[in-house]
Chain A
Amino acid sequence: DVVMTQSPLSLPVTLGQPASISCRSSQSLVHSDGNTYLNWFQQRPGQSPRRLIYKVSNRDSGVPDRFSGSGSGTDFTLEISRVEAEDVGIYYCMQATHWPRTFGQGTRVEIK
């Protein structure tokens, strides 16, 4: 199985400051069709997860442009350009290239 490793696991941030979460996979996420199926999800306290980013860098509809994804191969990053109070929650990466699908452990973002 592909192991997804996120860091840090806890990220205290100051409002208005940037934040960055790393996600590394144990093998390449490049699919045979040429796409890289790496997704990012946000789970606010008490809510269901919500997809933010798909195929590494594509924002889902309604996702603020302060969220961006980047990376390739086995190394990926989610960045928040200026953290707002509503961004508090747990962020997960997930690979959808290989079976079984696997999630990272989650990164808890909190306000300092």
Chain B
Amino acid sequence: EVQVLESGGGLVQPGGFLRLSCAASGFTFSSYAMSWARQAPGKGLEWVSTIGPGGGSTYYADSVKGRFTISRDNSKNTLYLQMNSLRVEDTAVYYCARTANFDSWGQGTLVTVSS
């Protein structure tokens, strides 16, 4: 069974940083692109970033470009999202998902940016 499990969320001050992790199991992690999406409280879904299977290709939403970095460690079956220069508007539940078509989602991890 395909499973992805996010961790690393929490409360951080504006301008701060956080690193999210996503542990994958039940499939050959190194064969799949992986993605992050987010959902602000009471709002809709927003694509954040995608990384290719080998890590060589990365894509970002304009809203996070230059501040967030997606990466992966295929030896650990783990996806990461390094989030720097966090803003209040980055407050959201962050979801990890398999592929750029989001075929399987995690349960999400809440990131709150507030002073």
Contact = CB atoms under 8 A, between A and B. Distances in A.
Q: Determine the interface band of chain B, counting residues with CB < 8 A from chain A.
A: 20 to 34
Given A48-B107, A92-B45, A96-B101, 15 more contacts: A41-B45, A43-B45, A48-B95, A48-B108, A49-B95, A49-B102, A49-B105, A94-B45, A96-B102, A99-B59, A100-B60, A100-B61, A101-B35, A103-B46, A104-B44
A39 interface: yes
A106 B50 CA distance: 22
Interface of A: 37, 39, 41, 43, 48-51, 54, 60, 90, 92, 94, 96, 99-106
B108 A106 contact: no
A48 B105 contact: yes
Nearest to B98: A51
Task: Across the A-B interface, give the 3 residue pairs with the lowest CB-CB distance, nearest first.
Answer: A101-B47, A103-B45, A48-B105
Contacts of A90: 44
